[in-house]
Structure 1
Amino acid sequence: MSKQPVLKNISPMIPAGNDLEKSIAFYEQQLGFKLIHKEGNPITMAVVKRDSAEIFLLKNDDQHLAEWTTFRIQVDGIEQLYQEFQVHGGHMIHPNGQLQTKPWGMKEFAIIDVAGVCITFCEPEN
């Protein structure tokens, strides 16, 4: 009776620029995450979490790496999340990433964090 392996959450480790205090503030104030762990003085690594989404922010001043880093977070209530981000100014919404339904059946929008990382929030259309 061996148990089948089950994949759970994925926790990306992303470049967060040179100023982790600024990145943490962005994730907390603009995206509604909570800081759950930090290391270093000054900070070199931090973990932020919102619901089941957990992101490791790593000090890294390679702008090119950050701009080529992207990932997706599946959500329930995408329209409400989009509105929430609009209330916070909406400055983080990618210029080409407004909320829309894609041909592959996902309703999604994208944001750019302070380091240049692109995060797409998505919800199946049905």
Structure 2
Amino acid sequence: MNNPPVLGNISPIIPAGSDMEKAIEFYEQKLGFTTIYQEDEPVTMAIVKRDSAEIFLQQNDDTYLAEWTTFRIQVKHVEQLYEELQNKGRGMIHPNGQLQTKPWGMKEFAVIDPAGVCITFFEEI
């Protein structure tokens, strides 16, 4: 039994601000996620999922924490996702995060959620 460990998907827990309904609506309506779990009433934590990407939204209105939270999601067909999200509202694309090919071999773009968290969607080229 000499099987090496294999890492799988990562499910970040991120600050979602104080308005959980607004956060959940953003992830569902703008980013195309589905809420698969909610905790408490009113909601203090929710899990949203799209394909293999799963994110835990935690009620937390620490803007400093949110603005310094960032993570990356690997995507197949990143150009189509960029177009999809632009059609749902240009304001969510990070001001410096338009779709571009980076010197490290990734095509990527970034969005900012309502709490200030930066999410980069990328595809290896």
Report the Cα distance in structure 2 between the residues aligned to 1:123 and 1:89, rounded to whole angstroms: 21
Report the Cα distance in structure 2 between the residues aligned to 1:114 and 1:62, rounded to whole angstroms: 12
Structure 1 residue 3 displacement after superposition: 2.2
Report the Cα distance in structure 1 between the residues aligned to 2:86 and 2:34, rounded to whole angstroms: 19
- The superposition leaves residues 19-42 of structure 1 with CA deviations (integer Å, 9 ceiling, x where unpaired) of 111000000000000000000111
Q: Percent identity?
A: 71
Q: Which runs of 4+ in 1 moved over 6 A?
A: none
Measured on the aligned residues, the alpha-carbon RMSD in Å equals: 0.6
The letter of the residue matching 1:75 is: V
The letter of the residue matching 1:120 is: T
Report the Cα distance in structure 2 between the residues aligned to 1:121 and 1:107, rounded to whole angstroms: 8
Which residue of the partner structure matches residue 59 of structure 1? 59
Q: What is the aligned length?
A: 125
TM-score, normalised via structure 1 length: 0.97
**Which runs of 5 or more residues in structure 2 are unaligned?**
none
Q: Report the 3-state secondary structure (helix = DSSP H, G, I; strand = E; otherwise coil) of the residue aligned with 1:28.
A: helix
The letter of the residue matching 2:55 is: I
**Which runs of 5 or more residues in structure 1 are unaligned?**
none
